[in-house]
Chain A
């Protein structure tokens, strides 16, 4: 008998059992005891579906039509429902991407772990409780007695994921499936969770099937890697071999697209003209209320920034750092509490929406979600010319310009007549950029504009932004949580934490030789920081 915990052979999953609608096309994969196999792919690669098939939890419209999934030699496809239920938690467990929604909001977390023991063991109630507390301690949760009685919403994101892990491992299954378990978490939390998974794998001698889209995470956790593209296996290799010597063009492209953590070369300072400046900008939420004062949240405090013509200023920070609040204040989508915002030489912080209208053409924004940033009911051309029409540009002229702009962002000009759903996510983001440019703005605010895109598309959009900046002399305010992206595109970087600026300076300095502890911690936590993916080598071997 082999040492394999999991053997997947020629797994095919199809929509409605239709052979022509396969979403997983012949997956082969095996994992040995104590090993971590990373399943890597962009959206639509079928990586999550393969995991769900292993758990027997595929949505009803999808079904495996061929192949086999064996757990320690036992066939799981077609296993009786009762047997499958018995194997879950004891043989194979799964943790999910979003720990908030994966936990039942109205049941105490301790009980949610205890349920597993209730149905899979013969322990008495007090033994069960003891075992749960042990397990909670094992995943390094603080104050376990109190936490046992807590509800999910009272925990932080990282703590919730620890609860999920405790729940998954309490019966010591041979296989743990982790489906993007750190994607929804901040980078420092992500590092802790990855460490915990490594630690427990060794301790419990389990095998791990780890699903991710992030090559940085792969380099941190994988023993073996399988790359999937649109349901097909591209290659399977040891992690080191894959990162140094990828066998397929697809993998090579994927690795080349990973933004490096090392800041790009500083550009020569061109124009000294300040296109956007804020002075002591503050935004406070809450603090009002009829009966009881609601809690005051200082979302942004004393933010003073300067953006030069043709330069890119990055604001990086974890969730809740206030980086998006700053962007929304500058766009006047929310009203700042105090401070000034100077664009085009004019303070716009206190203008009424009406007074603001003529100023609007100077600053434009690109949002994160490509699905929602274009009105699905109107043709993209109409979306692009909306702004120019507001400023009195004649229709035909605006439309001609829209065609030019589409070509500028790499789409055919004839696309003006099409609707948003006829484009991919990356294309829609290009259209959103074209719409922003239609106003000929001096300032472009990009609020996590590439975060929702697959890494290869992300690289293309970043390239486009850099090119447009070169050509049009745009000042770009780039909001992101991803240090790698910031390192690749920004001239100056601001690090924010809890509404305040922690560090502000040239990108090479802030990201290369950080002065503040928080910045250092952020950089240290970034996954894959030792690898120069684009050049297929660790940084230590760089010439």
Chain B
């Protein structure tokens, strides 16, 4: 190679906070996405204190009202304020998104490390991963929820299981390629134990890709939760979630499309923001990462 080798930015000395700020302000689009996401998260956290109306109590007198000064986005079939329900509904969606990202990444990291380092286990695990990937995720999720009953936990499990195989594959391929690195072989030659090689030389290589994959899983989980609820196979319909609100609005779509469209807009914008942020993180941490098999 005779071209100048690009100098690596000494990223080791930048604090996590500074780096997050750098990513958030890397482009106007990403900046707007970060603001939106922050608003969604804050409004979900403080939902009980900021909702303009009671999101649960039925008020048959004001059913299916169009947007007005009192009900900014109108009311649903039971006379409940749509805006209040959307704000409260964000709680479940965000919890599902974040929790399944964490679970999927944690389980996938563990299994992926095992598969990447223990040869006989690799064959078995990869067949199971292939099998799980063969089952369409929505089908698997609705089957699990319908059998095990519709609680927050079953929905979480049902959404997380189909995400795990992709993480396993990602971690495994990262481990396999890192194993070939001379610095790992030097560690073997220095008598370092397998457990320590994993902790010190292999796991750190997976962190950046896993953060990125985690954001995509978060987005995808929120989407799946909405679809499950929409199909009637999600969390108990009495709990307001974005999917549940839309599911209830289906029947009245021709009368008041807003019941489906407003939560739909909020879901879409939220997921869009997470995805954009994920792309920005990817570009900042490693522009070549798309090549390493991280895809949604």
Contact = CB atoms under 8 A, between A and B. Distances in A.
B200 A432 contact: no
Interface in B62-110: none
Contacts of A439: 190
Contacts of A130: none
Interface string A329-357: 00101000000000000000000000001
A44 B4 contact: yes
B191 A390 contact: yes
Contacts of A374: 183
B201 interface: yes
B1 interface: yes
B8 A421 contact: yes
Interface in B173-196: 181-193
Nearest to B185: A333
A435 B182 CA distance: 13
A390 B183 contact: no
A390 B192 contact: yes
B288 to A, nearest CB: 14
A386 B193 CA distance: 11
A39 to B, nearest CB: 10
Nearest to A452: B1
B183 A383 contact: yes
Contacts, number: 82
Contact of B186 (A46, A211, A365): A365
Interface residues of A, number: 42
B191 A357 contact: yes
A491 to B, nearest CB: 24
A364 B189 contact: yes
Nearest to A388: B190
B183 A48 contact: no
A47 B190 CA distance: 40
B186 A435 contact: yes
B190 A378 contact: no
A45 interface: yes
Contacts of A295: none
Interface in A168-209: 180
B238 interface: no
Contacts of B193: 390
B201 A333 contact: no
B186 A373 contact: yes
Given A43-B2, A367-B182, A419 B10 contact: yes
B3 interface: yes
Given A48-B2, A49-B3, A375-B201, A331 B183 contact: no
9 contacts: A43-B2, A211-B2, A358-B191, A365-B186, A367-B182, A386-B190, A390-B190, A390-B191, A421-B7
Interface of B: 1-5, 7-8, 10, 12, 181-193, 200-201, 204-205
